[in-house]
Amino acid sequence: MVKQAYIPETDKKRIIIVGGGFGGLKLARKLAGSPYQVILIDSHNYHQFQPLFYQVATAGLEPTSISFPLRKILQNLPNIHFRMASLLRVDPISKTIETDIGLMNYDYLVLALGVVTNYFGMETVKNKTIPMKSVSEAIYLRNRILMNFEKALNESQRQDIDPLLNFVIVGGGPTGVELAGALAEMKKYVLPKDFPELDFSRMNIYLLEASPNLLSGMSDRAHDNALKYLGKLGVKVKLNAMVTGYEEDSIKIKDMDPIHTSTVIWAAGVSGEVIEGLPESLFTPSKRIQTDRYNRIPAYEDIFVIGDLAYMETEKYPEGHPQVAQVAIQQAKLLATNFKKLAQNKTIQPFEYKDKGSMATVGRKLAVADLPWFKLRGFTAWLLWLFVHLMQLVGIKNRFFVFMNWWWNYVLYDQSLRVLIRPKLFRYQERISE
């Protein structure tokens, strides 16, 4: 029998929020001081700022600069409780969820789990490529990049060196474009100083995109400028390049020659995950959960979904909203308002997304921005990108350290965080677990 997780009992109705990302955290903070007991659960005890994962992976930022402890954020909010737990199952009949720390009862449940990497059914790709959906994966990629150069120093044959110096990024969205640009700048400004014995003319950075354009969802001008900027940086962009497999250090591409590489970064797509206990009929083919205009699952009046996992059709977005942070944040803000209205027996409001624009940076002084009233490129777009991302970080201390790292890198053309930190296997696991 599954035990009951301990949560203080009150006479308030309980809202359980699953997921401490942009949407879940914003909702919890907006419900501070509300007439509800709010339980936020997440498998990590920190909030991750996903747009800057690529800078951790390329040694531009420390992981702690883009992570913030959830308990610190929720300090002095007496009606908000945090539990580090993973969701295992939802039981809509008994209004409980099962987690790895026990059962929890809810009056309202909000699923803000986000999405996972989509490998489109290719097991070899899933097993051998590196995703970019967490801080730990970004650290792993940083280790892989640095270790490749350490290994290349000890090889003498070209056929052994080339796979170590070839980096392939699959997916031409913002993550892929930004990571490709950051790697190209490391090749130009940083790595030759660290590894003067290597011939960096042999280092290749490939960006593969299955569609005809980079940065899908942005304007044609943004597509063209991103392609031009990456070309200037020496990135080899291949459009209409559909990956079909990855075996024996060779990435297979439909109707194109394979690329020999030991490092493939997968940023090609995302998918939700079916949640046990909820009917599969609720999920779209991409595993998003269908909701009404109030972010509520139509079959259940007390279960809501926000963020990337939510699939809401509107007149303006007949195929669902884009899976970006602003959608999650705006849905969280409105849902918090609607919960307060429910407590007062008032009419709740439907969700309408206000698009504030899209941005992507390619390198130093190089970025593109599609804003509601105008479009920017180059240095101006780059400054705007820096400002917006700096302000979105949680915590003044994190903003300060990120700003100082950016200033240091800009002035000195250097990143000082090229440290290989790999976990050591201890023999004392039993003692630790006791």
For 185-226, give the DSSP string: HIIIIIHHHH-TTS-GGG-EEEEEESSSSSSTTS-HHHHHHH
13-43+85-115+272-343 matches 123-269+364-412 in fold: yes
Helices (H), 393-428: 396-412
Fold category of 123-269+364-412 in CATH: FAD/NAD(P)-binding domain (3.50.50)
Helix or strand (DSSP H, E) at 121:
none
CA pair distance 141, 421, nearest whole angstrom: 11
Tell me if 304 sits within 8 A of 111, measured CB to CB.
Answer: yes
Backbone Cα Rg of the chain = 23
The pLDDT profile of the chain, 434 residues, written as one tens digit per residue, is 789 999 999 999 999 999 999 999 999 999 999 999 999 999 999 999 999 999 999 988 888 889 999 999 999 999 999 999 999 999 999 999 999 999 999 999 999 999 999 998 898 899 999 998 999 999 999 999 999 999 999 988 888 899 999 999 999 999 999 999 999 999 998 899 999 999 999 999 999 999 999 998 899 999 999 999 999 999 999 999 999 999 888 999 999 999 999 999 999 989 999 999 999 999 999 999 999 999 999 999 999 999 999 999 999 999 999 999 999 999 999 999 999 999 999 999 999 999 999 999 998 899 999 998 889 999 999 999 999 999 888 888 788 888 888 887 776 666 666 777 766 654 444 444 43
Residue 88 has phi, psi (to 5 degrees) of: -110, -40
Tell me if 309 sits within 8 A of 289, measured CB to CB.
Answer: yes
Q: Where are the domains of the chain?
A: 13-43+85-115+272-343, 123-269+364-412
| CA 281 to mean position of chain CA atoms | 26
CATH superfamily of 13-43+85-115+272-343: FAD/NAD(P)-binding domain (3.50.50.60)
Does residue 178 carry a catalytic annotation? yes
**Sheet of 303-305, strands arranged across:** 80-84, 36-42, 13-18, 108-111, 303-305
Catalytic pick from 62, 178, 185, 209? 178
Residue 307 has phi, psi (to 5 degrees) of: 85, -155
Helix or strand (DSSP H, E) at 60:
none
